[in-house]
Structure 1
Amino acid sequence: MTFDQYKQDQVVQMEHYEENGKKNYGFSIYDRPNSNLREDIIRDKDIRESNKSEEEKDQELNELWEGNVRRAFMGKNVDGDVIVQLSDSKGQPRIRMVVDQSDIPRMEFLDGDGKVLYKLPPEE
């Protein structure tokens, strides 16, 4: 179930995904640009069908879809961990709160590359 931004894609989503016995489900919040999705899809098709190099196409597609990122997730991941994850404007996870399948809680602060900068409880 999703809720869409006017003339754009989903900004709030309740999701469930299951494959080979692995489940991922929860609630996500997305950032979307203020552009018209229908026009963006047409532009995407035009870029993909152009005679430009693959590198140029990739760059233009990245620019077109920049800002379409998941900013928050609350749910259960495929490892069985219950998680709240907050991401930056590029969609990179920056804060993770987890209660793992063994009921052990932790909180992690990450840099833009996903490296843990600080962890609670701290590692010994």
Structure 2
Amino acid sequence: MMQFDAGRALIVYAGVLTGVIAWIGLTAAAPTTRQARFDTIDVGRINVREPDGTLRMTIASAAQAPGFIAKGREWPRPDRRMAGMLFFNDEGTENGGLIFAGRDANGKASSGGSLTFDRYHQDQVVQLFGFEEGQERSAGIKVNDQPDARLDFEGVDRARLAPAAQQDAAYRAANVGGTQRLFAGRASDRSSQLVLRDGQGRRRLVLRVAEDGAASIDFLDSAGKVTRTVKPE
């Protein structure tokens, strides 16, 4: 009959325990990569996050589209009814996106797409877009100014819930209010245009080529009146 040796058992136990601890330490320190491959994935929304959990991008259906997110906090956006992709900066604040939609309702086409980039803690400063509503169609690029002050996110949410008569003032108080400075593209009158505006958003210079090829350059004053038109001889 084998005799139990407590000292030898303790030595073996200590050796096994040391090996397990060393293995855990090595595997924990080693970089881990998890990869999966699928032929088809059907989802309502995908969130792309940094290792610390910071949200950097969402891809979502219209039904699953997020609200407005700033530094990880989300506010409702009931007006966001398009599918697409939203971009978030290093702090987890929305700073642009790609959205798109389209349908045919009773023979009337309605579609649109927009790629935008935002100023830091403000709204979009560059927009590449295409729009169609029945016979009304336009496409091009817009460049906007936004207020120097940062958006007051809580103020924007309060403005959304304010009475209609008070909403404009509430949005301005929350530093909402961009000004278009440039448009270049195809206008709804079927002409191609380059429109330059001043800091108040007033058109001051319009270069236009009509659908039939007629070209012109209009200079406008602060009241929007054309003061001079240049045409080819």
Would you call these one fold, judging by a TM-score over 0.5?
yes
TM, length-normalised to structure 2? 0.45
Structure with max Cα Rg: 2
Q: Deviations over 1:79-110 (max 9, x none)?
A: 10000000010111110000011101000001
Alignment of 1:42 with 2:154, yes or no, is yes
- For 1:71, the equivalent position in structure 2 comes to 181
Q: Identify if the C-alpha distance between structure 1 residues 82 and 108 changes in structure 2 by more than 3 Å, giving closer, same or farther.
A: same
RMSD value, Cα = 2.4
Opposite residue 42 of structure 1, the aligned amino acid is E
- For 1:7, the equivalent position in structure 2 comes to 121
SS at match of 1:75: strand
Cα deviation for residue 9 of structure 1 reads 1.0
Cα deviation for residue 45 of structure 1 reads 4.6
Q: Identify if the C-alpha distance between structure 1 residues 22 and 88 changes in structure 2 by more than 3 Å, giving closer, same or farther.
A: same
Between the aligned partners of 1:118 and 1:16, the Cα distance in structure 2 is: 31
Alignment of 1:86 with 2:196, yes or no, is yes
Between the aligned partners of 1:9 and 1:43, the Cα distance in structure 2 is: 14
Between the aligned partners of 1:9 and 1:47, the Cα distance in structure 2 is: 16
Identity of aligned residues (%): 29
- For 1:101, the equivalent position in structure 2 comes to 211
* Aligned length in residues: 117
- For 1:120, the equivalent position in structure 2 comes to 230
- For 2:138, the equivalent position in structure 1 comes to 24
Q: Is the 8 A contact 2:155 2:170 kept in 1?
A: no
SS at match of 2:147: coil
SS at match of 2:155: helix
Between the aligned partners of 1:15 and 1:32, the Cα distance in structure 2 is: 18
Q: Is the 8 A contact 2:191 2:208 kept in 1?
A: yes
Unaligned regions of 5+ residues in structure 1, if any?
Answer: none
Q: Stretches of 4+ moved more than 3 A in 1?
A: 44-51, 56-66
Opposite residue 117 of structure 1, the aligned amino acid is T
Between the aligned partners of 2:219 and 2:139, the Cα distance in structure 1 is: 23
Q: Identify if the C-alpha distance between structure 1 residues 15 and 92 changes in structure 2 by more than 3 Å, giving closer, same or farther.
A: same
